[in-house]
Structure 1
Amino acid sequence: MIRFYSLFTVFIFFISLQVNAQKREISGPVYIDSAQAFPVSSISKRKLIAPSTEYKIVNPRNRGINKVVPGKGLPKTTDAALQEKMGEVPGKAPIFSFDAVTSRSTPTDPTGAAGPNHYVNGWNSAFSIFDKSGNQIVPPASLSSIGGEFTNETLGDPIILYDEFADRFLITQFSETPESFLVAVSQGPDPVNDGWYTYRFPTNGALPDYPKISVWSDGYYVTTNKNSNSASTSQVVYVFERDRMLIGETARLLAFPLVGINTNGFYSPAGFHAMGGEMPPLGNSPIIYLQDDAWAGVSEDHLKIWNIDVNWNLLTNSTIRESQELGAASGVSPFIATFDGGAFSNLAQPNQAPEIDALQATMMYMTQYRRFANHNSVVMNFVVDINPTAAEHAGIRWYELRQDRNGGPWSVYQEGTYAPDKSDRFSGSIGMDREGNIGLGYTVLDDSPETPIFPSIRYTGRYSNDPLGEMTLVEASIVEGLSPNPNTRYGDYAHLTLDPTDGVTFWHNGEYFDGVDRKNRVGVFKLAPDFNNDVGIIAIPNPEDATLSGSESITVTIRNFGRNTQSNIPVSYTINEGQTINEVFTGSLPGTSSVDYTFSASADLGIVGQAYEITASTNLADDDNEDNDEFSGTIRNLFPNDVGVTSIDAPSTGLELTSSEEITVTIENFGGEPQSNIPVSYQIENNRSVNETFSGTLPVGENVTYTFSQRANLSVSGRYNISAETNLTGDSQPENDGVEKSVANLNCIPEGSDCTSFGDGIFSFELEDILNERIPCTTGYGDFIGSSTDLDRSEGTFTVRVKTLFDSPEDNEKFSMWIDLNDNGVFDDEERLISSQVIPTASTWHEYEFTLPANAPLGLHLLRIRAGDVSFDGDLNDPCSVMDYGTTHDYSVRITDSTLSIDDFLLNEANLVISDQGNRIFRVFLETEFDETLRVTIHNLLGQKLLENKVESNGQGYLYEFDMSYAATGVYLLRIGTREVGIVKRFIVK
């Protein structure tokens, strides 16, 4: 290794610059070195080494001291740049997508880039090569297969890059023996058949963690998460001598600090990555990083930009200087870029899986730079929390900065925070095509029980003519996740690149999950128009669902999907396939832009409760694509009064639930008018209802969380059914008033078993109507007691099926099952119905029979299943024992008996209770497992029938409330049953 400049001299030069130019925030290089080229033959001629199958969790990302200041920082309310609604422009479906790798590396670090004829894909710690149709032509191979300086090197954190100005691929990774950065540069545009130059650049005694490489005219620039606590004075950014690397000569490197930077432990700045037909001028290579005012030493949220000027003729004349700070005065809205005080577990997953690392404090890869005729643009993104007053909600803050002259200052052309619904969006990667359209790929996650989303890869975008600050495209899916992340580590990044052959096709690579496998999916999509003349309708913004009138204005959004400007566009609409209304939009509509048009002819939408289908279309004479001309939407004339409880948010199944548990529900206004003072109630099992009032105002179409002031007693172990509903006077749709939820107070929840490393435990389960497949491996415990099936005890024997992901050659993987027949929340030995049955093979259904006791109590009961490797610690047949390797899951079963007649149920099994609720309101409950429709009647002692009604089973029996406030004082008779048989009981009205 040749060292061109002594470290001591460089250090003295650096100190001199700091003393003489402290106010200018400028520094020279703090480290200079070089690396010799090690040429290697083409991959097609090399013996490939298979990737390691010894999957391990990569060590946590390096970090320094956390410098978050609790309570510090803006905004204190919702993100001012927030885009709360998804765009309306129909996005194009992916051209195609494909799985690039299946691995269990944690994380996989997905990366890849398209060249003229290939897509080179990389992950920890391997690569593979595809053709441009997604066909694999080089199978997965260890990075060490490249040879040269990569020989025996598999530490990973790879980056794949295509340098379109040189027609070369780059493959990089870091090394710790010694600490260095490895780069392989292809000797031509063919990564399979062209040879490679390999380099080992030393990094001077510190691992170059989280390296991200970019192309500039005078070098390859690498930013790192290195020397966090001294980033303003130590080497952080490396510049490799690109010109010499491209011809396989010994190449020099310079390392620079980021003068004036503040960090929060882990940090990741970014270099501007040049792409497009024209290389930027030499010098002024920008580096950018966010600065969060929640960190110590930062007074305002801003973007900080440094410029690096490399002088390869006289290295010591090279400099880095702080160029700009873009804050509020420059158009940067305050942001919250810190999650959980800087911790690495942030975003909740479905099924109580581990919380995912949001990848905070990171300028996400890549920061892509492109030159246009009258400006230069760069796009970038990072994750933010959109509202500090609520639970953490991740969105993507993105920017387009512009520069009106080479070397001039950068300004904020547009910014936005993309979080169009309640789901989390993070791990973004952004790019701009040659026409100025922006594509954004990212991960979507949602832990909502009603709409769970496992980590899934999607994309959106915007056209250059669209309103600034908005991602206008309807979100499109590359792949929907099948399972949660079994670990907190995610990504650690995604990678979107532009196809160099056309400059408009995006290739995005991200991580999703299938069982215990981590997969990288590549999605290929395009935004640029396919036609010159192409217009259509994309939305009907007015009217909206509400209480409507007989004279409503109809507004449509016309979209020019093509390249040519259009005017005098014929438009029309119909209501429920009725009369066609034809008019003309006479304005001018540029390509890839939209305009709202309101018809002069109004529509009669005045029937309450009626749904109206509005179909609108354009009728352009020379339209090249008629597929997108028409848009239909259904508008509802809502009943004025219609509210309901949509979910019971608390409590949840747990240990040692108390006698004072909060009951929290979500109330939604389905109707056409705002509602205030909404009566709401909850009921535990068949106990007395708790009635309260939500005193606020709930706008049309919105929801609110309400916590009852009266708490619930759930202190006795066992299973509880909770129901909640609204009781709005005059509610027009009572069928959507309420919901139910099952929770349990358990004596033990055996969390902590390992079901990730080898696939131990139950990953699919089936019993009668319960079918639960691809069960996520989380903490080793799963709460599925909301899933229930009926078991008819008269049938005696039943079959249960389970599937594991662990091959058990020594038959150590075993399965047991209990039903809590006495409903005490404890799974006793005598309640174990399957005991230590062998699960011999992985990914195959195995069947086991069990028999219910003939006298098994009727009704709902908890069911517990366990499976694991019994050769390790933990007792499978102890329902509370934490196994080293395995899982425990809880469900519900309802035991019935079809041999019992209605007479048996009503006369022998049922318990009828009538209770006075006050104010002459009575409540009757018939406790029975009979579940057919019954009739309830009330007579006075003269035999006159005062009331007759149907009553349905609620699962535990029959519950019915009735009002006797207008009846005379005296004794009455209530009967419940069928017409042939029933139970009669007296009650008194006082």
Structure 2
Amino acid sequence: MKKKSTSQSAFFNLRILTASVFCLLGIAVALFAQGNRTKQQAQTNRSAVAQDAPGTQTPDVVQMVGPVRTTTDVRHLPYIPNEGEIEHQPLMRHPRGHGAPPPAAPSSPYLQRLLKNIFRPTPTIPGPLLTFDGVNSAASQCGCLPPDTDGDVGPNHYVEGVNVVFKVFDKNGGTVAGPTTFNSLFAPLVGTPCSGQNAGDPFVFYDHQADKWIISDFAFPGFPGAGPFFQCIAVSETGDPTGTYVLYALQHEPAHTTWLGDYPKFAMWNDGGTQNAYFFTVNLFQGSPSVAFEGVRAYALDRASMIAGGPANAIGFTVPLAGVGDSYSFLAANFRTGDPPPTGRNEMVLAIDTPASGGVTLTQVHTRFFHVDFANPNNSTFGVGADHTPNAEITVDGFVDAFDNSFNTSLVPECLRRLFTRISAVPNRYGLVILIS
């Protein structure tokens, strides 16, 4: 057995100790540098989110007709027909072509995409539990194309809206009430186009927190035309969609009475505190003397007041052309299920660019915060500055605006699927409801 050298062992231990000290110092320096980078990065991320202070913008306190209560439930409303067949003019930010798609050459990218779709693996999506026919063309009382289908599901009912009527089904697909014209539902809103001149773009959703149904469409004498242009809104008094409703009428843009609010989209947001509202957005189009895109308008309605049958206390902002950039059809985040938004969290309204031509790869989702203050409306803010530009940009994987120039439509991009737990989205003119989990 070889005898161990004491001096050699001490020298060896000293080297280990020295190396350990330098190693620890190196780790400390690395952690310090990483901490600084993380702190700087966090500061950079925070600085990228701009927020206007309360009282620095000028919201519109929108005058509305209502609340007006219906005295007859939906099943017994008197029938009020439409004035006549409605020819709905598709309104687009950028005009796009019509007609059949051109024939593709055998080696074209179109054929390659087609072959890829044919031979791709079959998705393992489970089949539907129940299917049944909704409102058909004859029952729609309009025969309009497209039907602008929209609807929502509650605990015991499905309510569908198409063009100028809505219908209530049970969960087995049986008819409970309707089809009922919007002219019948909104008849009590006398003095507005909602009483007799309802024109379509319906929206239906079920407020699961309040156990209420919200049904809406727009109304006007004709388009193109000088208006006036109104949004008609009904809030059920109970969780039964065949019961009675509280009605409201809101002019789309009081400062510009010849502007139509097209493509209305609603959302519900409730942080458990002051940020408790129904939000909706519309695309603004001048109806006279010529048709032209003018921007986007966003509204907040006092949800707590409305579900109690009180006034809507509407607050509105118009985003002008300088503020919308190359986007339109803003979509507000819609709380549908799961945990509610944290206290103090403002509503988020998202938009993507819509290029005049296809094939452009996009990576940004424009994000605006809508801070609402119904007690002091002048403290409400939307976006940044007088033009209400985005508060922040969300960078996502690149996507291409998937519109088909042959059919005047634009599909919802894949990127939005990643932003919400559940989103209710609608392609630009085809009325197809997509629920994504």
By percentage of residues, which structure has more helix? 2
Pair 31,65 (structure 1): closer, same or farther in 2 beyond 3 Å: farther
Residue 290 of structure 1 contacts residue 302 of structure 1 at CA under 8 Å; is this kept in 2?
Answer: yes
Pair 197,214 (structure 1): closer, same or farther in 2 beyond 3 Å: same
Q: d(CA) in 2 for partners of 1:255 and 1:207?
A: 15
Alignment of 1:279-290 (within 5 A): 279-280=340-341, 281-290=343-352
Q: d(CA) in 1 for partners of 2:121 and 2:211?
A: 36
Residue in 2 that maps onto 1:319: 381
Residue 178 of structure 1 contacts residue 202 of structure 1 at CA under 8 Å; is this kept in 2?
Answer: yes
Q: d(CA) in 1 for partners of 2:210 and 2:435?
A: 16
Residue 304 of structure 1 contacts residue 324 of structure 1 at CA under 8 Å; is this kept in 2?
Answer: yes
% identical aligned pairs? 22
> Which consecutive residues of structure 2, in runs of 5 or more, have no partner in the other structure?
1-48, 97-108, 138-142, 221-226, 271-275, 286-291, 384-389
Q: d(CA) in 2 for partners of 1:151 and 1:229?
A: 27
Letter in 2 for 1:180: F
Alignment of 1:667-746 (within 5 A): none
Shift of residue 334, structure 1, vs aligned partner? 4.1
Pair 142,302 (structure 1): closer, same or farther in 2 beyond 3 Å: same
SS at match of 2:334: strand
Residue 403 of structure 2 contacts residue 409 of structure 2 at CA under 8 Å; is this kept in 1?
Answer: no
Pair 95,222 (structure 1): closer, same or farther in 2 beyond 3 Å: same
Residue 48 of structure 1 contacts residue 142 of structure 1 at CA under 8 Å; is this kept in 2?
Answer: no
Letter in 1 for 2:128: P
Whether 1:34 aligns to 2:63 is yes
Count of aligned pairs between the two proteins: 328
Whether 1:215 aligns to 2:268 is yes
Residue in 2 that maps onto 1:275: 336
Residue in 2 that maps onto 1:250: 311
Shift of residue 179, structure 1, vs aligned partner? 1.8
By percentage of residues, which structure has more strand? 1
Letter in 1 for 2:164: S
Q: d(CA) in 1 for partners of 2:397 and 2:299?
A: 28
The one of 392, 398, 419 aligned to 1:333: 398
Residue in 1 that maps onto 2:240: 190
1:450-500 deviations in whole A, cap 9, x for unaligned? xxxxxxxxxxxxxxxxxxxxxxxxxxxxxxxxxxxxxxxx953222459xx
SS at match of 1:243: helix
The one of 289, 306, 316 aligned to 2:368: 306
The one of 220, 231, 248 aligned to 1:181: 231
Shift of residue 53, structure 1, vs aligned partner? 9.2
Residue 62 of structure 1 contacts residue 209 of structure 1 at CA under 8 Å; is this kept in 2?
Answer: no
Whether 1:55 aligns to 2:81 is no
Residue in 2 that maps onto 1:161: 205
Shift of residue 91, structure 1, vs aligned partner? 2.4
SS at match of 1:210: strand
Pair 272,442 (structure 1): closer, same or farther in 2 beyond 3 Å: closer
Letter in 1 for 2:392: Q
Letter in 2 for 1:143: F
Q: TM-score, normalised by structure 2?
A: 0.66
Alignment of 1:890-905 (within 5 A): none
Q: d(CA) in 2 for partners of 1:128 and 1:102?
A: 11
Q: d(CA) in 2 for partners of 1:97 and 1:46?
A: 27
Residue in 2 that maps onto 1:92: 126
Residue in 1 that maps onto 2:325: 262
Pair 211,283 (structure 1): closer, same or farther in 2 beyond 3 Å: same
SS at match of 1:49: coil
Residue in 2 that maps onto 1:119: 158
Letter in 2 for 1:263: D
Residue 46 of structure 1 contacts residue 145 of structure 1 at CA under 8 Å; is this kept in 2?
Answer: no
SS at match of 1:273: coil
Pair 63,261 (structure 1): closer, same or farther in 2 beyond 3 Å: closer
Whether 1:493 aligns to 2:427 is no
Letter in 2 for 1:33: V
Q: d(CA) in 1 for partners of 2:392 and 2:403?
A: 22
Shift of residue 252, structure 1, vs aligned partner? 1.1
Letter in 2 for 1:49: Y
Q: d(CA) in 2 for partners of 1:105 and 1:254?
A: 32
SS at match of 1:399: helix
Residue 236 of structure 1 contacts residue 257 of structure 1 at CA under 8 Å; is this kept in 2?
Answer: yes
Q: d(CA) in 2 for partners of 1:87 and 1:313?
A: 55
Pair 93,289 (structure 1): closer, same or farther in 2 beyond 3 Å: same
Residue 110 of structure 1 contacts residue 491 of structure 1 at CA under 8 Å; is this kept in 2?
Answer: no
Q: d(CA) in 1 for partners of 2:120 and 2:91?
A: 33
Pair 139,229 (structure 1): closer, same or farther in 2 beyond 3 Å: closer
Pair 63,337 (structure 1): closer, same or farther in 2 beyond 3 Å: same
Q: d(CA) in 1 for partners of 2:426 and 2:200?
A: 22
Letter in 2 for 1:222: F
> Which consecutive residues of structure 1, in runs of 5 or more, have no partner in the other structure?
1-22, 67-76, 341-345, 347-355, 361-380, 383-395, 403-430, 433-437, 444-489, 499-503, 505-990
Structure scoring higher RCO (CA < 8 A, sep ≥ 6) equals: 2
Residue 187 of structure 1 contacts residue 246 of structure 1 at CA under 8 Å; is this kept in 2?
Answer: yes
Shift of residue 278, structure 1, vs aligned partner? 3.5
